[in-house]
Structure 1
Amino acid sequence: MRPTPADPVAWNAYLAEGNATQARKRVSADVLLRDQSGRVLLVKPTYKPGWDLPGGMAEANEPPHEAATRELNEELGLAVTLHDVLIVDWVAPHGPWDDQIAFIFDGGTLSEKQVADVQPHDEELSDVAFLSPDRAGDLLRSRLRERFQVALQALAEGRSKYLHDARPLW
């Protein structure tokens, strides 16, 4: 007989058993940051080739927006207030990786002082650069480049976009 909420201990054990068998999603949380002239910030990770948007992977049970701000603080020493979600992208399994939910948040425009002070703060980054959106797009891996370009559209339109493997569904 299935437990009911009338027996909270048995009910929670039953729910926990179901929870243990459900899928877990990896979550990435990147941030689109700009300087006063509209250039975007890219970072160069030491643990993978190429350039990336600032941000990173969420830890277990960490909300995506908190992962984004934590990563900015740890890797760049930046404290920013996130504005909006620009992108939510379901990324299909690829290579050794399971599927993932990828967020890009609008981090707004940094002050001149913040721009001047931006530099790697830990061993995960080797370099940072503010680049025109076109040049930044040229340096990003194809999947991230597509997501980045849609994020720029979302910013211009003032509305979030939902993607399926970096492609808008509507």
Structure 2
Amino acid sequence: MVLLRDHDDRLLLVRQPPAAGWSLPGGLLDRREHPREAAVREVREEIGVELEPDSVTPIVPNAHVNPWVQQVDLIFTATVDAGEIALRVDEVEIGEAQWFALDALPSLTGPTFRLLGRAGLVSPDTTPATPATPATPEPSPAPAAEPPSVGAAPATIVGAVLDGGADRTDAVLAEPGEAFADPEATETTKATEATERADTAAPGSASGAGRDENA
């Protein structure tokens, strides 16, 4: 049997009287015939489509056991340009042949329904009379962003001070809302305050000493 598809991803099905459902083109192997060659021959005989053997590939798994009729079905697939081929139905075996979209398949025979289900083309939750393609799972929603934790904000690194040419850098931290003081400006302010304190603590000025001697 052959899953014959076109470039619009439609599937070609045939109806073989007296069966009411639609099925795949295919047939029985001749003695000592290779399964791939048999698939090419059956498609040519039933619907008049010529396939190159190299264009026909087995699906995986290729062999499917049909316990109701005690036979093994070998399934192949091929893709053709539907606009460049003309279907010529063998009216002795085939009532009609037609392309179907995968989401608009007709009523199928039971074996064809099971084969298409194994190929992943119909949902096993449907029936041969009302086949449907498997539903595409919806993508999972993205996880919601976590809100920021409530509490004291961490200290922020706002600058760095080189330690006298030593091969390291000390990070200077400032609490939230605290202005960052320039380290160089801070050192200059401390030196000025120290000089003013030294002048204040010195002994009396020269003018004071003169007054003591005059007394």
- TM-score when normalising by structure 1: 0.61
Alignment of 1:147 with 2:115, yes or no, is yes
Q: For the residues of structure 2 that align with 1:56 and 1:108, how far apart are their CA atoms?
A: 19
Structure 2 counterpart SS, 1:43:
strand
Alignment of 1:46 with 2:17, yes or no, is yes
Contact 1:44 1:128 in 2 (8 A): yes
Alignment of 1:85 with 2:58, yes or no, is yes
Aligned to 1:56: 27
Structure 1 residues 47 and 131, CA gap change in structure 2 (3 angstroms): same
Q: For the residues of structure 2 that align with 1:143 and 1:74, how far apart are their CA atoms?
A: 21
Give the gaps of 5 or more residues in structure 2. 122-215
Q: Which has the higher strand share?
A: 1
Contact 1:104 1:151 in 2 (8 A): no
Aligned to 2:39: 68
Q: For the residues of structure 1 that align with 2:115 and 2:6, how far apart are their CA atoms?
A: 20
Contact 1:33 1:110 in 2 (8 A): no
Q: For the residues of structure 1 that align with 2:65 and 2:117, how far apart are their CA atoms?
A: 16
Larger Rg: 2
How far the C-alpha of 1:70 sits from its partner, in A, is: 0.9
Aligned to 1:167: none
Higher relative contact order (CA 8 A, sep 6+): 1
Alignment of 1:118 with 2:93, yes or no, is no
Deviation per CA, 1:73-118, whole angstroms, max 9, x where unpaired? 11111111343211310222x2xx3x2110110112334111xx11
Q: For the residues of structure 2 that align with 1:71 and 1:123, how far apart are their CA atoms?
A: 13
Structure 1 residues 70 and 105, CA gap change in structure 2 (3 angstroms): same
Structure 1 residues 135 and 57, CA gap change in structure 2 (3 angstroms): farther
CA RMSD of aligned residues (A): 2.0
Contact 1:47 1:124 in 2 (8 A): no
Structure 1 residues 50 and 66, CA gap change in structure 2 (3 angstroms): same
Structure 2 counterpart SS, 1:49:
coil
Alignment size in residue pairs:
117
Structure 2 counterpart SS, 1:131:
strand
Amino acid at match of 2:42: E
